[in-house]
Structure 1
Amino acid sequence: MNIDYVARNYPLDDQIRTYTSDKLQKIAKFLEDPVEIRVTLEHEKHRYIADLHVAHRFGVIKANEENDDMYDAINLAVDKTEKQARRSRKKFRDKRRKADRNNGSQWPVEVLERASIGAGGSPRIVKKSVLSIKPMSIDEAALQLEDSKNDFVVFRDAASDQVSVLYKRRDQNYGLISPE
C-alpha cells in the first residue's frame, strides 16, 4: 500500500500521517495489493476537508468529506471509502462466482437452414453459430426477439437460472422451450 499525502493550508505532521495510515489499514484488507492512495488534507476558514483517492485492482474509489475537525473529516472519508471498497470487492467476487458458475456461457448452437436433403436422405448442417447466453427475463427475451431478425432467442432465465429458448411460431405467437 502506497500512501501519498498532499496538504493545502494545513501543517502535515507525523501524528496526522500515522493516524491516517492506521485508519487506511482497514481499507487495505478489502482490496488486494498494489493499492495507491492519495490523501489530500485542506483547511479553509472554519472547515477541514479530507479527500481520499484510492486506485486499486477493481477500479478507483473517491471520497470527500468536510467537518469542523480534521480527525472527524478523516474518519468520515475513511468510513465512506471502506463502504465503497466492500461494495467493490463484493461486486468483483459476485462477478467471478457467476463466471465460474456460467463457465460455459457460450455454447455452440447449430442453426439449420432450409437446405436440400443430402444424398443420404438426411438433412445436413449448413451453418453453425456461436451465441452468447445472457441472463434476462422472459419479457426481455420477447423484446429482443421482436427487435431481432432471428426466429429465436437463447437466454438464461433470470428467475430459474436455466437456459431457455424463446421462438416465433407460425401463428405469430411465441413459444418457450425450457428444461425440466
Structure 2
Amino acid sequence: MNIAQLSGRGVEITDPLREYVDEKLSRLDRFHDQITSARVTLTVRDVKNAARRNRVEVQINVPNGIIRAEESNADMYAAIDKASDVLERQLRKFKTKFLKQRHEAQPQPEPGPAEQAAQLGEEDGEVQPEIVRQKRFELRPMTPQDAVFQMEALGHDFYVFKNMGTDSCGVVYRRKDGHYGLIEPK
C-alpha cells in the first residue's frame, strides 16, 4: 500500500517505525486492491494520572468511501497492530458488500419526503452550543444505501453525501428505533 502521508505529533517518525507501519498496512492490499491512498498520524500524548499514551489514526481512501481507524495503547507498536486489525475487518466487510452490490441490479434512489430535523432531538436552550471540531471533506456521489454502509464503516451516527439519483446533498442517520433516516433538500 502506498502511504501518502505519515506524520507524527509529539513523536519523531524513525525509519524502523515507518517500516513497521508500511509492513502492517501492506497486509491490507490483499483485501482491497483499489486503495487509492492512506494517511497515518502517530500521536504521543500525556494523559492525566496515567502513563504516556500512544494513538494511531489511519484513514484509507477507497473508491466511493473512506475506511478509518483510531487506536490507543501504552506501546506505539501495539497501537499500530490494533489499528491494522480494525482496518482489516472493515476492509473485509467493505469488499464483501462492494462485490455483492456490484453483482446485484443497479439500485434505484429511494423516493420519499425529507425527515424533519426536529426528529433528531431538540435542545433545551440553557446550554450554549460550542463548535469544538471542524472537518472538511469531499462529497462523493453514491446511493443512500452506500452512504449508510459508509456511516457504519466509520462508526458514525450520520453521514453526509451527494445523492447519485437526485444530484443533491443528503444526510443519512441512525434512528433510535435502529432503522435509518434520510434528509434531503426540496
- TM-score computed with the length of structure 2 as normaliser: 0.51
Structure 2: give runs of 5+ residues left out of the alignment: 47-51, 109-186
* One-letter code aligned to 2:18: R
CA RMSD of the aligned region, Å?
A: 1.8
Structure 2 contact 29–35 (Cα < 8 Å) conserved:
no
Structure 1 contact 58–92 (Cα < 8 Å) conserved:
no
Cα distance 1:34–1:62, how it changes in 2: closer, same or farther (>3 A)? closer
* One-letter code aligned to 1:91: K
| Bigger-Rg structure (1/2) | 1
Count residues with an aligned counterpart. Answer: 102
Q: Provide the rounded CA distance (Å) in 2 between the counterparts of 1:41 and 1:81.
A: 16
Percent identity between the two aligned chains: 34
Q: CA deviation at 1:98?
A: 1.8
| Alignment partner, residue 160 of structure 1 | none
Q: Provide the rounded CA distance (Å) in 2 between the counterparts of 1:58 and 1:78.
A: 21
Is residue 79 of structure 1 aligned with residue 80 of structure 2?
A: no
Secondary structure of residue in 2 paired with 1:40: strand
Q: CA deviation at 1:2?
A: 2.4
Structure 1 contact 32–57 (Cα < 8 Å) conserved:
no
Q: CA deviation at 1:68?
A: 0.4
Cα distance 1:24–1:94, how it changes in 2: closer, same or farther (>3 A)? same
Secondary structure of residue in 2 paired with 1:12: coil
Is residue 63 of structure 1 aligned with residue 64 of structure 2?
A: no
Query: 1:101-116 residue pairs with structure 2 within 5 A?
Result: none
Q: CA deviation at 1:32?
A: 2.3
Q: 2:54 aligns with which of 48, 58, 61?
A: 48
| Alignment partner, residue 111 of structure 2 | none
Q: Provide the rounded CA distance (Å) in 1 between the counterparts of 2:21 and 2:35.
A: 18
| Alignment partner, residue 2 of structure 2 | 2
Query: 1:1-180 residue pairs with structure 2 within 5 A?
Result: 1-3=1-3, 4-45=5-46, 46-99=52-105
Structure 1: give runs of 5+ residues left out of the alignment: 107-180
* One-letter code aligned to 1:87: K
Q: Provide the rounded CA distance (Å) in 1 between the counterparts of 2:61 and 2:83.
A: 15
Structure 2 contact 70–83 (Cα < 8 Å) conserved:
yes
Q: Provide the rounded CA distance (Å) in 2 between the counterparts of 1:35 and 1:82.
A: 16
Q: CA deviation at 1:71?
A: 0.4
Q: CA deviation at 1:11?
A: 1.2
Tell me: higher relative CO, structure 1 or 2? Use CA pairs within 8 A at least 6 residues apart. Answer: 2
